[in-house]
Amino acid sequence: MKPDVRDQTASCQTISAMLSRIGDKWSALVVTYLGQGPMRFSALRREIGNISQKMLTTTLRNLERDGLVARVVTPSRPPRVDYALTDLGRELLGPIDTLVRWTVENTARINAARARYDAENGG
C-alpha cells in the first residue's frame, strides 16, 4: 500500500518544526546545560551567559511545550522553580552531542570550504 501523501507532508512539517526548535540559537544550549541536572532559572541564565531573561523564558516555555523540559515548582517562601529534562529531553542529548562532536571535528574543513566559496564568488 502506497503511503498517503498527506501523512508525508505532516511528517515533514513535524520534522521541520522540531529541527527549527532544536536548531535555534538557544534550545540546544539549554538542553545541554539541563543535561547536567535540574537547574533554577537564575542558575541556568548565569551558566548560559549572554541570554536575556525574556529569551530564556521563551526558550524554556517552548521546550516545555514540546515535552523536552519539565518545570517543577516546590512550595516554599518564595516558591522554588526548577527546570529539568524529561525522558524525551534526555534522549535528545545523544543527537546533540553527536552534532557538536561532528562540528568540532569538521570545523577546519567547513572554514576551508567557506573560504574557497568566498574567493570564487567575491564574498
Cell of 79: 516558591
From the list 45, 100, 106, 34, the residue with the least C-alpha distance to 68 is 34
Residue 81, φ and ψ in degrees, nearest 5:
-120, 120
Summarised one tens digit per residue, pLDDT across range 64-76 is: 999 999 999 989 8
Q: Report which secondary-structure segment, H or E, holds 80.
A: strand 80-85
From the list 95, 63, 60, 59, the residue with the least C-alpha distance to 81 is 60
Domains of the chain by residue range: 5-120
Summarised one tens digit per residue, pLDDT across range 22-59 is: 888 899 999 999 999 999 999 999 999 999 999 999 99
Q: Which CATH number fits domain 5-120: 3.40.718.10, 3.40.190.10, 1.10.10.10, 3.50.50.60?
A: 1.10.10.10
